[in-house]
Amino acid sequence: MTTQYVSLFSGAGGLDIGLERAGFEAVSLCEIESVFCRTLSANQSWAHGDGRKYLSNATILNADIRDVRAEDLSIGKRIDLVVGGPPCQAFSSSGKQLSVLDPRGALVSEFCRIVGELKPRVFLFENVRGLVTARDKNGEPGGVITELMHVLEELGYSCRAALLNSADYGASQRRVRCFIIGSSRGKAPQFPESTCQKDGGLFSDQWNSLREFLLQHADDDSSQFTFPTRQLAEKLAEIECGSGLKSQGKAEATRPGGHWGYRQGTFIADLELPARTVTGSSSQDWIRWNGVLRRLTLKEIMALQGFPNDWLVEGTKSQQYKQVGNAVPTVFGEALGQTILQHLQNFPKGKPVQIDIPESFRGHIEYTKRDHARNESSRTIHRRFQTTDTSDV
């Protein structure tokens, strides 16, 4: 018997590719962006180079989740798993950080609604790490995830949360995301053990570096290369790999040198580490490769995200970058999918058991509170919902 799932906020299918590699079968996928849906449809009807037909039996709904009913998604089938990552910009440290006041942030409640109506045995929720310290409507750091966990528990689920880094699971990209797994019986499963560490270890490999990745996957089509202007090239010539041009910092109580970040689009990747988080725009990090300074190409970021080499991406160039850069790395879907599948095959008995929020989350939340108390007067952006990160990497 197949193990079936429903995908919400599906994007270009990154999480779904991983789940199907793990052994799940998609019943339906819901996505509001029509060009994203065209991408999903374009990859349904033929076998890719790895021999798989992804999403072949899935119904693709091009719709606003707020207008979708549970029966539209289940299509009369038994649903074992509901997955989804509501739009993350409201919680990202690189955005305005309006949290639940942003209409996109409010879509978290739609995920909960669908889970409550479909009542799957397990759910998988995904978002940016900024969700951990995101402020609720009362301005309390950590209030969003605390309330979210409470709502999901009230729906009848044991919930376990964690921050996971894709580099720890073999990806050549450092991308940290917040995940919540819920089980309607017993305890939610433990998250899968990492297979890689930054410096390696007794039972794990070392992170896969960008250099190793490029040796296998570097784009050889020079027509896709983007080069810096002469003026920018002169400035970047003095920048070491793993650094970039810094924005002007504003002095703060605990940061005399300023609360600064790297200027958008000026970072040169460190080839000895996995790539930084790829973005949803064409302004990817620069790489010094084969004697040339250029940006990572669309083909390369697709490979960093784990898409099959022949995955079709519809739309304009900017739409393609948006779809690929904003996707969930397939390695997460595969690793978490295997864990969830094993949990379903040995599904526990008894009522769901409540699990405390991780201590590491509490640490992040308390740090954010202290930082704002010390530096709030010197902040120039939206004070009420600011987080402390300068990057979501």
Three-point CA angle 72, 99, 115, nearest 5°: 25
> Which region, left, alpha or beta, applies to residue 69 given φ > 0 means left and ψ of -120 to 50 means alpha?
beta
Task: Give the residue with greater pLDDT, 341 vs 101.
Answer: 341
pTM for this predicted structure:
0.90
Is 178 a known active-site residue? Answer: no
What is the C-alpha to C-alpha distance for residues 215 and 225, in angstroms, rounded to an integer? 17
Residues 3-58 pLDDT 10s: 999 999 999 999 999 999 999 999 999 999 999 999 999 999 889 998 999 999 99
Q: Are 132 and 142 in contact (CB under 8 A)?
A: yes
Sorted by sequence, the CB contacts under 8 Å of residue 230 that are 6+ apart come out as none
Check residue 247 and give its pLDDT.
Answer: 84
pLDDT, one tens digit per residue, over 76-113 is 999 999 999 998 655 544 444 444 554 455 899 999 99
Candidate list 88, 112, 159, 178, residue with the active-site label: 88
Q: Domains in the chain, ordered, with CATH?
A: 3-200+326-385 (3.40.50.150), 207-312 (3.90.120)
Mean pLDDT of the chain: 90
